[in-house]
Amino acid sequence: MTGRAIALVAPSGPFAPSEMAEGIALAAACGRPVRWFADPAEAVGFLAASDARRAAHLHAAFADPEVGLVWALRGGYGALRLLPHLDLDRLRAHPKPLLGLSDVTLLLNVLAERAGLPTLHGPVVRQVPRLDAASRAQLTEYLASGLLPRAHAVRRLHGDSVTGRLRGGNLATLCSAVGTPWWPDLTDAVLVLEDVNEAPYRVDRMLQTLAQAGALEGVRAVVLGQFLGEDGPVDLAADLLIELARERGFALADSLACGHGAANTLLPLGASVRLELAASGSVLRS
């Protein structure tokens, strides 16, 4: 990391500073001061600020030499609008990790693939109060020392062990990029998917969109994180994907502790990973 400070950014929806207090306190306890690159007064409807202002904040956060981590305050909506305003060469000139999830999925994949930045799929600042003990401990260790978990338990559903480049994140957000210049290259990818508050027919629609658009061609494996409804986990994505996995020849696993729930591990998007599948003890290694 280039510096100890953490840049707080809002690349998507508007935010309330009071919701960020526990995440900021955790950063402070790890010896990481925070610097704000977002202003709640700049909110424009469902956006944290205009597209130009959010891009300017992100550029400034990466350029600050005291900043060693850029951490998204929340998801929401707006990353797709933001991408055309980014100068990837400017961001590439100041390499540092970006941490987030949900709508930030598009930024994570684009910056990992096209700027070579070490992006992390993991908790946004607003999510910190809801993390379970294991996820909070992982996040604390990362903020304090930069160490990431290297093994993540999963459950084998179909196929054999594979190696690939880690991509993915929120299913709905990824689907919004189909047909745009921002769709990630999934050739030889291990694709992680998660989502929240989506009805079964909507999940099926999104998966079929990816399949029929040819977006899953070349994918080596799909690993499912949490698919959560209003009352807890919804076991539906695996049932909907198993037929596609058999037809198209990619491996399939689920039960990865990532997503919008309390269990949310840190995943280095863009990194080479090994999905080790067995009848028991399957693991995603990064």
Q: Which residues is 36 bridged to in the sheet?
A: 8
CA 168 – CA 223 distance, rounded (Å): 9
Q: Which residues is 34 bridged to in the sheet?
A: 6
CA 224 – CA 191 distance, rounded (Å): 8
- Is 11 within 8 Å of 108 (Cβ atoms)? no
State phi, psi for 122 to the nearest 5 degrees.
-175, -170
First and final CA of the chain: distance in angstroms?
A: 19
- Give the list of residues 6+ apart from residue 48 with CB closer than 8 angstroms, or none: 10, 11, 12, 13, 14, 15, 38, 40, 42, 54, 73, 76, 78
Q: What is the dihedral of CA 249, 250, 253, 256, to 10 degrees?
A: -170
Determine how many CB atoms are found less than 10 A away from the CB of residue 21. Answer: 13
| Crossing angle between the packed helical segments 237-248 and 200-212, to the nearest 10 degrees | 20
Task: Identify each DSSP E strand in the chain by its residue range.
Answer: 5-9, 34-37, 67-72, 98-100, 120-121, 151-153, 155-158, 162-170, 189-196, 221-229, 232-233, 251-254, 267-268, 272-276, 283-285
The residues annotated as belonging to the active site are: 102, 194, 260
